[in-house]
Structure formats: structure tokens, C-alpha cells
Chain A
Amino acid sequence: MHLVRDLLDNQVNDKRDRKMGKVDGIILVLREGKPPKVEAIELGMSTLLSRISDRLGRFAARLEQRWGITDGEPVRIPVRKIERIGIDVRVKVDADRTTVYDWERWIRRVIIEKIPVPGGGRTGGGPK
């Protein structure tokens, strides 16, 4: 497998096929005298932006912490939790038990629920 072509940036879906995000980063472990080993995949704005510029990545992490959106840490999914890798990556994880929807919840609370127009409410099915 070509890690950059076949894994990095692919869509990640949880065990209920809900969209969690993209593979924003790959964690490799360096081993003495052996090739590096893939340990985990990472999802998170700070990981993603740090691939464009380190400064941008640090800025995103600080912003997420300061505004109370997330703890600034990306979501890390160990490689043993990966169920299937195709053009989508399916993981044996419940998205609600991670922080991938922290941005979603924050925007819902700060913007969507403040709009006093009917029709925006929840009927179930989306991330809690």
C-alpha cells in the first residue's frame, strides 16, 4: 500500500458508517534497523493545517482551545481499529465516543440553535 496515495486524506467512516472526517495525518513509529511502522491515523484541524504550515497548525490548536471548541488535540485512531481501507476508511469506533464532532456541536450551539426560525431542529440521526 502507498500510504500517501491510499490512506492519507481518505474519508473516515465510523462503525455505523457516519462520516468522521478525513485522514488528516498518519503516525509512524521509527524502529531501529527496521522500516517505520504505522501506529495510528489522526483526524483534526490542527493536524491538517500543520501539513500546510506548522504555524497554521499551532494557530488552529490554540484557537480551538481558547474558544472552548476542543481540547486542541487531534483524534487518534490506532491502526488495529481500522476495519477496511478502500477509497473510504472504515474504523471500528463509535464517532460519538470521540471528539470528532466537537466543531459540529459548537457550531450547532453557537450559531444554529440561536437562529429563531422553525425547521432547524433535530429529528435524530445526526451526530449528538
Chain B
Amino acid sequence: MKDILKIALGVVTGIGGFLDAGTIATCAQAGARFEFRLLWVVALGTLCIIFLSEMLGRLAAVSHHTLADAIRERFGIRYHAIPLVAELFLDVIVLAAEIGGIAMALQLLTSIGFPWWSMPVAVAVWFLLWRATFDVVEDGVALLGLVTLVFAVAAIKTHPALHDILRGLLPTRPPRAPAQYWFIAVSLLGSLLCPYVLNFYSAGAVEEEWTEQDLAANRWAAGLGMSFGGGLGASVLIASAMVLYPRGIDASTYDEMQLMVSIPLGHVGGTLFAVALGITCFGAALQVALNLSYTMAQAFGWNWSENLKPAEDARFAATYTLAIFAAAIVVAVGLDPLKVTLFAMAFNAVVVPFVVFPLLILMNDEDYLGAHTNGWISNLVVSFCTILAFVLGIVAIPLQIFGGS
């Protein structure tokens, strides 16, 4: 019974916590510009995140160590400094993207410009972290995040043809603008395989004191939760492909993305889009900010837990405090949150191998995993996706920046 509850909570977390500014923006642009042709990237990224989250849960349950802990311990500070610095920098940018997403949602609802919302939003995010425990953050985000099911409803209401969806699951060459096609493919993979998601998952498992008894529940929660979450990402792409693509709207602003819900569902759909965007970005902002603290604390061996009062882990609380306000400044100066999001997602894809390959080595290390080391299928799937993300990243990002399309 306890296991079933744990799995159910894992599935709700997978659904409610899956989408964020990055996944919404990249899936919407993929559908608006290339119809169903990038659906295979969502499927591949989802498959990879299922394997990765199962591994991270297993690492935490068996060794009681998180990913950042274990990378420092096994690979030393000289290696760890590379992903650590890259991830801290990227997390602040992703945090800016999430705060920007909430601010944009509030702009859609109130017509007050997004830069004005950046500081109130930052204070709200910070205040919740300052006061709440880990369970409140994780479960609250998951339950409120269920509003993102509106994307699935919108996708169903557009009546997509099954054969179009199935055809999209097969990789094809882009019909036009190859640089843009591959850049969006990289951003999609980067949004699905965010380093912050990986670290947060393993830190969460340690916060919840998982043990080897939880391995079966972990496997089911990762498999089902992330599959449903990936389904939601696919729904955003499908709704966008059905609504925006035929009208020639390329989803280059959040206002345009709103149409993929407001056209099939009417006026209430537009409001629900803004609410879903705001809530999902709020949840992600909490997770990214916490992850910055987790990453620092675990890299340097500090005392850490969201369940402690800020004065009991002052370095942990100070890290998220400074990060939130640094990110809010990026939004307050008026940088376009959508552009910040898309570039952060693409760079995620380049950074992720520096985190995932050490993970693969650790998952085959009996000192950490005992009898629960990886099988060859897990090693193969994750290696393939990570190499693909990295290669696409180093090819597509310069092409996009220097106008290759």
C-alpha cells in the first residue's frame, strides 16, 4: 500500500513537475515551425530521462549520496570544477528563464509589462523556500502543476490524425531551415535532460530518505511519471502543430503560444494557458533555486536540507537567496525571457554529458551501488542520447548564433 502511494505520488510529480518554461517554449516552437517532425526528439528525450531518473533514484536509495556528492568524491575537484561552474552559471540563467516565464504569465493576465513583475515574483519564490519544507515544495508543485493537463485537453480538441503523430515519431530530414530544425532539436533535448532536473531528483531522493526498499517504487514512478510527463510535452507540440503551424504563426512570443490553447478552448483556454505557464514556471523556479543550493552544498560537503531552518544551514539558504535575486535582475533589465530560455536549453544539451558520463561510471561502481549496478540497456540508451545531444549542440548552436539558417 505504501509502495502504491509512493508510485502514485511519483506519477503526479512526473506529470505536474515535468513542464517548465523550457519544455513549453521548445515544444511550442517545434510544433509551430516543423509540425510533427520533431516529435521523435520528445520521445527520445523522454526515454532517456526515464532511464536517468531511475538511475538517480537508485544511486540515492542505495548509497545515500547524490549525484553532485558522488562526482566530487569519485572524480575529484579538478574534474568536478568543470560541470560545477557550468551548472551554477546555467542554473542562474534557467532560473531567470523561469522567473521570466512567471512574469510573462502575469503580463498575459494583467497587461502589466513583465519586467515589473520580476522582483515581486522573486520575493514570492524566495519566501516560499525560506519558510517551506521539502515536501511542501515538491508535493505542492506537483499538485498545482496538474493544471498543465490543459495542454493535453487542447491537443485532443484539435483532433490530430494518428498517422501524422506516428510519422513524427520517426526521425526525418528537415524540409527547410536545417540550422533552425537542429537548433530546436537540441533545445528540446536540453529542456528534457536539464542538469538541474537530474541533480534535483537525486537530492530529493536523499531528502526523502529512500532506501533499497524503495527501488521498485522508484522504477515504477520514474517509468510512469516521466512517460506521462513526456506525453504532456508531446501535447504542447501537437497542439502547436495543429493550431499554429497551419496559420503560419511561429511561436516566437508567449502571446503567440497562448493561441494554441485559446483557439481550441476559447477565452478560458487563454487564461488557463497563462495560469499553467505561471504555475509550472513557479514550480520549476523553486526547484532550480533549491538545486543551486544542493549543488553547492554537496560539492563542498556542507550541511544541507530544505527541511532545516535557514539559520541551521546558512550557506545553503544564502546560495538560493543570492541566486534568486541575481536571476530576477536578468529579467528586470528587460532581456526577452523567451530568448533567454531557448539559449539556456540549448546550452543544457552541451553541459549534460559532463554530468551524465560520470553518472554512468558511478552507476557501474560496486562501491556505490553494491549489487544494484547498471545493466547494459541503461548504459546504452543513456550514452546514445547524451552523445546525440552533445554532438547536435556543438554543431547547431554556432549555426544558429551565426545565422546558418
- Residue A55 is within 8 A (CB to CB) of chain B in the complex: no
With both chains docked as a complex, state the minimum distance between the C-beta of B65 and any C-beta of chain A, in angstroms.
6
Most B CB within 10 A of own CB, among A113, A120, A121, A123: A120
Q: Which residue of A lies closest to B69 (CB)?
A: A11
Q: How many residues of A contact B (CB 8 A)?
A: 37
Residues of the B chain whose Cβ atoms lie less than 8 Å from the Cβ of A103 = 315
Q: Within the assembled complex, what's the spacing in Å between the Cα atoms of A112 and B301? A: 20
Q: Does B368 contact A (CB under 8 A)?
A: yes
Would A8 and B302 count as touching, CB distance under 8 A? no
For A119, the chain B residues whose CB sits under 8 A away are: 130-131, 309-310
Which of B74-82, B93-101, B182-190, B246-254 lies at the binding interface?
B74-82
How far apart are B94's CB and chain A's nearest CB, in angstroms?
A: 23
Say whether B208 faces chain A, with CB atoms less than 8 Å apart.
Answer: no
Q: Report chain B residues within 8 Å CB of A4.
A: 76
**A5 within 8 Å of B by Cβ?**
yes
Mostly, the A contact residues are: loop
Task: Select A9's contact among B63, B72, B309, B312, beta carbons within 8 Å.
Answer: B72
Q: Which of B63, B65, B317 contacts A120 (CB 8 A)?
A: B317
B355-394 CB mask vs A (1 if < 8 Å, else 0) is: 0000000000001100000000000000000000000000
Q: Are A122 and B301 in contact (CB under 8 A)?
A: no
- CA–CA, A46 and B379, complex, Å: 37
Q: Judge if A19 is at the interface, Cβ distance under 8 Å.
A: yes
Which residues of B are at the interface with A, using a C-beta cutoff of 8 A? 63, 65, 69-70, 72-74, 76-78, 80-81, 127, 130-131, 300-304, 308-315, 317-318, 321, 367-368
Q: What are 27 A-B pairs with beta-carbon distances under 8 A?
A: A9-B74, A11-B65, A11-B69, A11-B301, A18-B303, A19-B301, A19-B302, A19-B304, A20-B301, A21-B301, A43-B301, A87-B63, A87-B73, A87-B367, A105-B314, A108-B311, A112-B310, A112-B318, A119-B309, A119-B310, A120-B130, A120-B317, A123-B309, A123-B312, A126-B308, A126-B309, A126-B313
